[in-house]
Amino acid sequence: MEISHVTKDIHQLSVTVRDMLFEGIWEIPKGVTLNSYIVKGEKTALIDGVCGWDGVPESFFGLMEQLNIHVRDVDYLIINHMEPDHSGWIEQLSNIRPDFKIVCTKASEQLLSAFYGRSENIIVVKDGDTLDLGGGKVLRFITMPNVHWPDTMMTLEEETGTLFSCDIFGTFGAIDNVRYDEQLSAEDIAMFEEEGLRYYSNIVGAFTSFARKGFAKMDNIEVKVIAPGHGIVWRENPQKIIDDYADFIRWQEEPRTDRVTVIYGSMYGMTEKAVAYVLEKLEDYPVTVNVHKVPETSWGTILGDVWSAGKVILAMPTYEMKMFPPMAAVLEEIGKKKVLNRKVFRMGSYGWSGGAQKELDHMMEELKVNWTFVEPVEFKGKATEDDFRAIDASIEALMV
């Protein structure tokens, strides 16, 4: 764990985790930070926490003492949302100081009882409520229900304009000993932008309609620093992550027309050969192409790329009269995340019978994602010259 100074009387305690699956599902090849913050007025508030990894909470409490703050001195614990990656140590904190006050929304209160059996010393706040810590530090609470849990809120420290934004404005990705945007090179910023998109699509994406409503509240908040639950603190240019999130939210329904994501699976190379042909064709167009093979590439990485891409190419063979199973699994997840309004081309090989297309058509009806398909191309065994001509025509129609 590491400690750092955010701004006047506000500190960050952060832990970086790697080599694990976030939420038990999502690959994080570049790691992720879990951020907790201390706001020191006459009273002390701890905003969010971290999970029980890396010797937490002992290391966490130890670091607080470096700030001359003992756990016993924490008057308020602000829970922006109850997901256990931010609240996993409440029980240990309760053992040290049972009477600290938890500040949270009504929905959090119910979850607190369910997860930690805690039902006392809770202050329930509503949108716009404030908490005066004394010494010029006033916290304002801004509810953001369902971004990402039902109880979510953000907390604004009014004196410094520091917005503790919870999951919104978070990113995957971590760089050792780097916590603030002004410490980053342009290349690092690009990495966090990419990891932000992956984080958004994997974790928040399914709740985009709520994120859109919550995001509109930013118009009424004067923000100087954005301090999210995950990732970098944006204090030199907070507008950068605000603009990125505006894109992420918009791309659910209005993706970029200059991006193509190719997702393919292949058993014996017949479909893969057709994919190689398609990739060569795409070189003639001014687009960014991302290519992922299933099951080799993780769902999370594919989701990140599909989230921004207006055009999608699906290439998979028929397998036991259905879609190649890893493709069906990833498409199901893409549908659940509500990746809407894509233009799509599907092709693939079959042996003794087709079936992949039929299952795909059925799945699309069920998912209601409003994908528009150009003419599919299915070939028995390997693609023939006629099949390649049909692929040419479909690619042309896709790229219009």
Among 11, 198, 230, 235, binds ligand FEO (CB under 6 A): 230
Selected range binding ligand FEO among 79-87, 136-144, 214-222, 263-271, rule: CB under 6 A: 79-87
The DSSP-derived string for 304-321 is HHHHHEEEEEEE--EETT
The piece of 81-89, 182-190, 231-239, 297-305 that touches ligand FEO (CB under 6 A) is 81-89
- Closest contact distance (angstroms) between CB of 306 and ligand FEO is 21
CB of 248 to ligand FEO, least distance (A): 15
Given the complex with ligand FEO, which of 2 and 159 has the nearer CB atom?
A: 2
Nearest to 33 by CA among 61, 62, 3: 3
Q: Does 195 bind ligand FEO (CB under 6 A)?
A: no
> Is residue 118 a contact residue for ligand FEO (CB under 6 A)?
no
| Separation CA 234–CA 241 (nearest Å) | 7
User: Which residue lies nearer to ligand FEO by CB, 142 or 398?
Assistant: 142
Q: Quick check: helix, strand or coil at residue 103?
A: strand
| Radius of gyration, CA atoms only, the chain | 24
Q: Closer CB to ligand FEO, residue 52 or residue 376?
A: 52
How many residues make contact with ligand FEO (CB under 6 A)?
A: 9
Task: Identify the residue whose tokens are 């209601």.
Answer: 368
Residues 77/80/84/89 CA torsion (nearest 10 deg): -10
Binding mask 37-76 for ligand FEO (x = CB under 6 A): ----------------------------------------
User: Counting contacts by CB under 6 A, is residue 198 touching ligand FEO?
Assistant: no
Nearer to ligand FEO, 40 or 81 (CB): 81
Using CA atoms, how far residue 245 sits from 186, 200, 226, 298, in Å, is 18, 8, 12, 23
Q: Which two tokens stand for residue 119?
A: 């039902």
Confirm if 194 and 304 have CB atoms less than 8 A apart: yes
Cα distance between residue 101 and residue 65, in whole Å:
20
- 337 lies in the binding site for ligand FEO (CB under 6 A): no
To the nearest whole angstrom, how small is the minimum distance from the Cβ of residue 7 to ligand FEO?
A: 22
Distance, CA of 240 to CA of 257 (rounded, Å): 22
Residue closest to ligand FEO (Cβ): 83
Q: From the CB of 225, what's the least distance to ligand FEO, in Å?
A: 19
Can you tell me which of 26, 37, 40, 83 binds ligand FEO, judged by CB under 6 A?
83
Q: Identify the residue among 11, 40, 137, 148 touching ligand FEO (CB under 6 A).
A: 148
Single residue of 9, 75, 151, 167 touching ligand FEO by CB under 6 A: 167
Min dist CB 292 to ligand FEO, Å, is 25
End-to-end CA distance of the chain, in Å?
A: 51
Which of 84, 161 has the CB closer to ligand FEO? 84
Other CB atoms closer than 10 Å to residue 280's CB: what's the count? 9
DSSP structural state of residue 179: -
Strand 322-323, strand 318-319: pairing: antiparallel
Q: Considering only CA atoms, which of 243, 242, 236 is closest in space to residue 179?
A: 236
User: Interface with ligand FEO by CB under 6 A: which range of 78-86, 104-112, 288-296, 345-353?
Assistant: 78-86
Beta strands in 268-342 (DSSP E): 288-293, 309-315, 318-319, 322-323
3-class DSSP state of 281 = helix
Choose, by CB under 6 A, the member of 9, 75, 85, 378 that binds ligand FEO. Answer: 85
Binding interface with ligand FEO (CB under 6 A): 81, 83, 85-86, 148-149, 167, 229-230
